[in-house]
Amino acid sequence: MIKAICRMGHPVLRKRAQLTPHELIFSDSFSQLILDLKDSMKHYGGIGIAAPQIGVDYQVAIIELIGFNRYGEDINFPMTVFVNPKITFLTEEKQGFWEGCLSVPGLRGFVERPKKIRVNYLDYKGQEKELIAEGFLATVIQHELDHLDGILYIDRIKDTRLISYQEEFDQFIMERTLD
């Protein structure tokens, strides 16, 4: 079911989400949460969404990057559910991307984040998983998992001159970024 997105200012976006209890993963309400996240992400045109964004206080996020071509990277990352994830940075080297967020509609901002990460998490069946990611996918994962810690991407913008409305971004910035 498509849910309303909580926007910046809503307190649920500013608290650390609760750890998902293991027994919840096997419940109908958990399956429903995953469906709601998928439906909402697709409906609003996101590439990832975290449970707090639909007002649910658990450490759950989903990401899907299919046939995604951006910044010269060809990414095919199938729908993945991250439960109770933990990130380890594998390099201090940073990369910057223009990010957007369903909870901060209409804006884009340039954020630098570590280039390569490891994520340990439970999948939708409660199985322990490990994933190494770099490039744009590493940024998307960090953005989504930040939501579970009450952090929005705008908190990580170092240079506030690198914030733009989407339309101005398309008009003045995108062409330069994609080169």
Residues that bind Ni ion (CB under 5 A): 101
Catalytic annotation on 128?
Answer: no
Select 33 or 111, whichever has its Cβ closest to Ni ion.
111
In whole angstroms, the minimum distance from the beta carbon of 22 to Ni ion comes to 26
Is residue 40 helix, strand or coil?
A: helix
Select 21 or 105, whichever has its Cβ closest to Ni ion.
105
**Within a 13 Å sphere around the CA of 147, how many CA atoms are in the beta-carbon half?**
34
Select 15 or 125, whichever has its Cβ closest to Ni ion.
15
From 64, 128, 144, 167, the catalytic residue? 144
In whole angstroms, the minimum distance from the beta carbon of 18 to Ni ion comes to 19
- Terminal alpha carbon distance of the chain: 38
Alpha-carbon gap, residue 36 to 179, rounded angstroms: 36
Alpha-carbon gap, residue 35 to 54, rounded angstroms: 12
H-assigned helices in the chain: 28-44, 136-147, 166-168, 174-178
Alpha-carbon gap, residue 16 to 14, rounded angstroms: 7
Select 44 or 126, whichever has its Cβ closest to Ni ion.
44
In whole angstroms, the minimum distance from the beta carbon of 26 to Ni ion comes to 28
In whole angstroms, the minimum distance from the beta carbon of 49 to Ni ion comes to 7
Q: Which residues are catalytic?
A: 144
